[in-house]
């Protein structure tokens, strides 16, 4: 694949026929893709582009573009489709007279259809195998945005790659900063919701599962007083090791004291002397730290694959799934771990797009995007009722995330 620096390459193909290329469609295609890709412009025979529908609004942009070296097209005949991550064809009235019958264009399209994964877009837009064809001026903007979304997704960390890439120490840095880059007060919001949920439970003999706890023990702070046993679990081995360190009292383990104080002092109204007591209570109540994978059956180590009185799942399901079907299937597997009448505590992210990501130390991990409605509907389909929800808005400069939510449901 062709690269200049760190950006992947995108082939922008235009007609060179006198019938021309839509000026506005080309501008949309070029300006949007250039932010993500290195652009290679190509036309049949490398001829200059004739723009149509030029007006006062785009005339100056086109004049400036034509003065740059990048405006000189490469020969389409010399382009190798295997060297590009993406292919964009803006709205070209002239395409019917040259591109449509070009064997070179056909060859490039066949390469993309054979090598890239298929994906369809909407609004008179074809987004197929990382190929975009802007069928009219109105469609180009949506088409290219979808292309960038799909191409970005291929660079996100997901699946088995998480084992090697997710570093608990880097994740702890987010706690030290109070998740200020995402939503100020985010950990406190979740801790308050857990406190409220567990405070409504009076029994001291409950079985509690924290599914996908990560390297954290925060969910156990409010769970410990009402639990007989707590099982912690995570997909990533290094996260489980980090939890085991804390449980063993290792001096190098992350210090959760400030979060214990928030729950015990601020939410429960108890003195700071109770912090050490709660820490020891958790160490006594946690019976195991085990592996889990919500995309498999069973979703947790077989010895611990049973029904629990309370199951927590915090910021995990969306990170482990990549489609609506996987998200719904994962939710159903989680539901099998909750006793009838038991409580399910679910924490997630409301995103503006289906493909999203979260960042840990400049590493981008994939996260599936859902809406409030979809999250609630998925819980209901999995067999949960009496669903209550709370949310906290995301930081304003993060346009891809609208809010973080907490949902609580009872297993029917």
pLDDT tens digits, residue range 6-23?
577 889 999 999 999 999
Assign residue 178 a region (left: φ > 0; alpha: ψ between -120 and 50; beta: otherwise). left
Residues 108, 168 within the same domain: no
Residues 182, 38 within the same domain: no
Residues 225, 308 within the same domain: yes
Kind plus residue range of the DSSP H or E element containing 377: helix 372-381
* Confidence category of residue 336, pLDDT binned at 50, 70, 90: very high
CATH of residue 254: 3.40.50.150
Mean pLDDT within 285-289:
98
Ranges 85-89, 117-121, 149-153, 184-188, most confident:
184-188
Q: Are 82 and 108 in contact (CB under 8 A)?
A: no
Domain boundary among 153, 185, 207: 153
Phi, psi for 352 (deg, rounded to 5) = -85, -10
Q: Omega into 175 within 30° of 0, i.e. cis?
A: no
Residues 132, 216 within the same domain: no
Residues 326, 209 within the same domain: yes
The count of domains in the chain is 2
Q: How far apart are the first and last CA of the chain?
A: 52
pLDDT over 70 percentage in the chain: 87
Residues 137, 45 within the same domain: yes
Residues 110, 227 within the same domain: no
Over 80: is that where the pLDDT of 330 sits? yes
**3-7, 272-276, 290-294: least confidently modelled range:** 3-7
**Residue listed under structure tokens 């389909």:** 381
Helix residue ranges, H only, 80-218: 103-115, 137-153, 161-165, 168-176, 186-199
Domain boundary among 153, 176, 195: 153
Residues 144, 179 within the same domain: no
Kind plus residue range of the DSSP H or E element containing 222: helix 219-223
**20-34, 52-66, 186-200, 284-298: least confidently modelled range:** 20-34
The pLDDT score that the predictor gives to residue 142 is: 58
The pLDDT score that the predictor gives to residue 29 is: 84
Rounded to whole angstroms, how far apart are CA atoms 66 and 343?
63
CATH of residue 56: 3.40.50.880
CA nearest neighbour of 175 among 245, 247, 259:
259
Residues 178, 319 within the same domain: yes
Residues 123, 177 within the same domain: no
Q: Are 121 and 47 in contact (CB under 8 A)?
A: no
Q: Could you tell me the two tokens for 384?
A: 């949960």
- Range 360-363 contact pairs with CB under 8 angstroms and sequence separation of 24 or more: 360/166, 360/167, 360/170, 360/171, 360/174, 361/167, 361/170, 361/173, 363/157, 363/165, 363/166, 363/170
Query: Which of 29 and 258 is assigned the larger pLDDT?
Result: 258
Strands 227-234 and 3-4: unpaired
Query: Which of 295 and 116 is assigned the larger pLDDT?
Result: 295
Rounded to whole angstroms, how far apart are CA atoms 325 and 320?
12
CA nearest neighbour of 346 among 393, 380, 322, 305:
380
Mean pLDDT within 333-362:
90
Residues 41, 167 within the same domain: no
Over 80: is that where the pLDDT of 226 sits? yes
Rounded to whole angstroms, how far apart are CA atoms 198 and 175?
23
* Confidence category of residue 81, pLDDT binned at 50, 70, 90: confident
Domain hosting 283: range is 161-411
Domain boundary among 111, 135, 153: 153
Q: Could you tell me the two tokens for 55?
A: 């007006």
pTM higher than 0.75 for the full model?
A: no
Residues 125, 218 within the same domain: no
**24-33, 148-157, 194-203, 364-373: least confidently modelled range:** 148-157
Mean pLDDT within 282-306:
97
Q: What is the pLDDT of residues 32-64, one digit of tens each?
A: 888 778 899 999 999 999 999 999 989 999 999
The pLDDT score that the predictor gives to residue 125 is: 37
The pLDDT score that the predictor gives to residue 3 is: 39
The pLDDT score that the predictor gives to residue 117 is: 43
Q: What is the pLDDT of residues 116-159, one digit of tens each?
A: 444 333 333 333 444 555 455 555 655 665 555 555 555 678 88
Phi, psi for 404 (deg, rounded to 5) = -110, 140
């Amino acid at each position: 694949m062709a690269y200049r620096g760190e950006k992947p390459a995108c082939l922008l193909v235009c007609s060179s026929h006198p019938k021309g290329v839509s000026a506005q469609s080309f501008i949309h295609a070029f300006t949007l893709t250039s932010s993500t890709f290195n652009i290679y412009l190509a036309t049949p025979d490398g001829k200059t582009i004739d723009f149509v529908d030029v007006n006062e609004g785009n005339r100056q942009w086109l004049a400036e573009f034509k003065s740059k070296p990048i405006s000189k097209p490469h020969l389409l005949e010399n382009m190798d489709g295997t060297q590009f991550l993406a292919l964009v064809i803006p709205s070209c009235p002239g395409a019917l007279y040259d591109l449509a019958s070009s064997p070179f264009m056909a060859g490039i399209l066949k390469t993309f259809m054979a090598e890239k994964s298929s994906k369809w877009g909407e609004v008179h837009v074809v987004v197929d195998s990382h190929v975009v064809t802007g069928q009219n001026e109105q469609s180009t903007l949506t088409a290219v945005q979808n292309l960038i979304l799909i191409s970005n997704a291929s660079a996100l960390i997901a699946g088995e790659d998480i084992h090697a890439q997710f570093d608990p120490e880097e994740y702890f840095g987010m706690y030290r900063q109070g998740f200020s880059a995402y939503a100020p007060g985010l950990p406190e919001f979740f801790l308050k919701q857990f406190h409220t949920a567990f405070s409504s439970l009076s029994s001291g003999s409950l079985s509690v599962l924290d599914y996908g706890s990560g390297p954290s023990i925060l969910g156990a702070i409010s769970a410990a007083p009402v639990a007989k046993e707590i099982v912690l679990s995570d997909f990533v081995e290094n996260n489980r090791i980090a939890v085991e360190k804390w449980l063993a009292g290792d001096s190098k383990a992350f210090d959760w004291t400030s979060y214990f104080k928030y729950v015990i002092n601020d939410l429960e109204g108890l003195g700071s002397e109770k912090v050490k007591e709660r820490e020891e209570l958790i160490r006594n109540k946690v019976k195991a730290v085990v592996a889990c994978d919500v995309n498999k059956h069973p979703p947790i180590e077989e010895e611990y694959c049973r029904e629990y009185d309370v199951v927590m799942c915090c910021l995990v399901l969306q990170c482990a799934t990549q489609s609506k079907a996987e998200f719904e299937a994962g939710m159903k597997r989680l539901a099998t771990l909750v006793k009838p009448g038991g409580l399910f505590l679910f924490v997630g992210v409301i995103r503006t797009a289906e493909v999203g990501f979260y960042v840990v130390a400049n590493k981008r991990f994939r996260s599936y995007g859902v809406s409030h409605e979809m999250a609630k509907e998925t819980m209901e389909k999995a067999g949960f009722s009496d669903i209550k929800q709370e949310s906290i808005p995301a930081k304003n400069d993060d346009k891809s995330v609208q809010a973080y939510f907490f949902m609580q449901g009872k297993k029917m």
